Structure 1
Amino acid sequence: MSHDPVELRDIASTIAREGADLARRMRHGGIDVADTKSSAVDVVTEADRAVEALVRRRILEQRPDDAILGEEGDDHPGTSGVRWVVDPIDGTVNYLYGLPDCAVSIAAEVGDEVVAGVVVTIPTGVEYAAARGHGATRDGVPISVRPAPPLAEMLVLTGFGYRTEVRAHQVASVARLLPQVRDVRRMGSCSLDLCHVADGSGDAYVEEGPARWDWAAASLVATEAGAVFARLPGRMSDHLAPVEAQMAATPDWPERSVIAAAPADGWDDFLGALEAAGFVADHP
């Protein structure tokens, strides 16, 4: 089957829009918590499950030989060399409370490389999309990162996990970073935070712990818009028992547990700040 990034992006766009429409309809009908994951406040709704089921079904209808990695379901093996990475609702707590930063995120990978990615905001339908080598768009209009300001003027986006010990580590790192930058924002969706860097509504992003489905699609949107995206060695495993660390968000935990992005012309300064703040264990 085709590995063409534009074709895969267009498939992801159609399916992500359908998933966002379903999530929007379900939200209007009222949503309850269906389950929890890492802690009692890390929730799953029936909409998460319904949207992922829809996305999986639509992908396999069009590309039955592809693999799928989704947040809420079992991995689906494939033989085509393409794997889809699906977050049915990134920002589930926002979705539960009716807050705007929540989205359906779908990426296509060939090997270990993301070649297409789409993030569709659920309340508004705003779509961020990218195909490798073809740039990034917001609702079809090309986007690019802002020219990087000095570090002291950077607006940095971040997020927190749902385990108490994880949050304690993340907050301590953010507290050390905050005096070095303009300000810090926490809006609750990794994928949309990366898209905000891509369209210039944020200067940089960092968080330790997001899973692949959180960042896969938006990482390509960010890089195609001119950002450096990196997975860096973190320190969170210092705060987790060995078994818990093995169960953490990335298969190569903790070697690349910090997710970060910034415009290319400001990357070195931002990386230095992350090292000084204790986000990054060692220079990559």
Structure 2
Amino acid sequence: MSDHAGHATSDLLDLARRIATTVAATALEERRRGIAVESTKSSPVDVVTAVDRETEARIRSLILDARPDDGIFGEEEDTHVGTSGLNWVVDPIDGTVNLLYDIPAWCVSIAVVDGPPDPLHWHALAGVVVNPVTGDVFEASRGGGARLGDQELHVNEDVELSKALIATGFSYSAERRRAQATTLLQVVPRIRDIRRIGSAALDLSAIALGRLDGFYERGLNPWDHAAGALVLREAGGRVGGVGGAPESSELLVAAAPSIFDELLSLVVDAGGATG
């Protein structure tokens, strides 16, 4: 870790919060005026809206105004390479399909990490996840705990896997969705129930709040989980991948500590890290 990790994470968190809440309010206004698909990305159902692109452009502008030497790694634009050793990992709208359908489960996710924009090699310093519709602002700083507004967050304790409420997500690729459905068939009988909310950042934050007990998904991008994973870890949760590795596109499993190992084994054994 570079010496930048020691500099005030509280300042980074304050900036991340200020930017996330500012752009979230504007994105909500734009949603209320109406929205349409602007283009698609990896498949015909992987949509991009003008709100995604405009929100990321605003986030980038606000970051660079405040910290011109930092890098920015986001979903909609090319990486901005910085010189400070810090990178902002940005998902302007996580849950774009929910946004499109006016389902109130989409968010702005902003994290700042020490190191490259790769979860295998970074150290997350601060993260904010804002749901503009509900007004929920989840936030965390490294070693500073996690909060929803003024409420300190902590995961559910003493959870049993058979009574655990688990969330997951699905790929935009039809072939991968088929494999994920096969995994799900083996997971569902072993747990209380499954939820598919449509935003990994909100799923991870929900575990921190105790609204969920666990989450797993294959194929996530770094911006999908950078902020949410920090919120969950600072709330006492565990996040990781296959064989003790950090979370990555190969697999992300997140859960209350009492069920993490068991959930990870279940998902891997069910083929959740392949296909």
Aligned to 2:131: 121
Q: Give the drift of 1:151.
A: 1.1
Q: Is the 8 A contact 2:220 2:249 kept in 1?
A: no
Counterpart of 1:49 in 2: which secondary structure?
Answer: helix
- Greater shift, 262-271 or 126-135, is seen at 262-271
- Per the alignment, residue 251 of structure 2 pairs with 258
User: Does the CA contact (< 8 Å) of 1:148 and 1:203 recur in 2?
Assistant: no
Corresponding position of 2:13: 9
Do residues 268 (structure 1) and 261 (structure 2) align? yes
Query: Which secondary structure does the structure 2 equivalent of 1:108 belong to?
Result: strand
Asked whether 1:76 is paired with 2:80, we answer yes
1:134 and 2:127 matched: no
Q: Partners of 2:271 and 2:141 in 1: how far apart?
A: 33
1:149: how far off?
A: 1.7
CA distance in 2, matches of 1:31, 1:122: 15
Check if 1:57 corresponds to 2:61: yes
C-alpha distance in structure 1 between counterparts of 2:267 and 2:151, whole Å: 32
AA matched with 1:9: L
Question: 2:169 touches 2:217 (CA, 8 Å); kept in 1?
Answer: yes
Q: Tell me which residue corresponds to 1:248.
A: none
TM-score, with length taken from structure 1:
0.89
In structure 1, the gaps of 5 or more residues are 234-251
Q: CA deviation at 1:256?
A: 5.2
Q: Deviations over 1:125-159 (max 9, x none)?
A: 21000000000001131110001421111110000
Cα shift at 1:178: 0.6
The verdict on how the C-alpha distance between 1:221 and 1:16 changes in structure 2, with shifts beyond 3 A counting, is: same
CA shift, 1:269, in A, is 1.8
Structure 2 residue aligned with 1:109: 113
Equivalent residues, number: 262
Distance 1:231 1:37 in 2: 26
- Alpha-carbon distance, 1:48 to partner: 0.2
Q: Tell me how far apart the structure 2 counterparts of residues 208 and 110 of structure 1 sit (CA, whole Å).
A: 24
User: Is 1:175 matched with 2:179?
Assistant: no
Residue matched to 1:277: 270
User: Is contact 1:232–1:256 with CA below 8 Å preserved after alignment?
Assistant: no
C-alpha contact 2:250 2:273 (8 A) present in aligned 1:
no
- 1:276 is displaced (CA, Å) by 2.6
The superposition leaves residues 53-89 of structure 1 with CA deviations (integer Å, 9 ceiling, x where unpaired) of 0000000000000000010001001011110000000
1:174 and 1:8 mapped to 2: Cα distance? 38
- Code of the residue aligned with 1:77 in structure 2: it is V
Q: Answer whether contact 1:117 1:220 (CA < 8 A) is retained.
A: yes
Pairwise CA distance, 1:3: 3.4
Q: Give 1:214's match in structure 2, choosing from 218, 221, 224.
A: 224
Distance 2:220 2:69 in 1: 28
Identity %, equivalent residues? 43
SS at match of 1:152: helix
CA contact (8 A) 1:3 1:82 kept: no
What amino acid does structure 2 have at the position aligned with 1:192? L
Q: Note the residue ranges of structure 2 that are not aligned, 5 or more in a row.
A: 116-121
Which residue matches 2:170?
Answer: 160
User: Is the 2:154–2:209 contact (alpha carbons within 8 Å) kept by the matching residues of 1?
Assistant: yes
How far the C-alpha of 1:280 sits from its partner, in A, is 3.7
d(CA) in 2 for partners of 1:148, 1:192: 22
**Cα-Cα RMSD:** 1.7
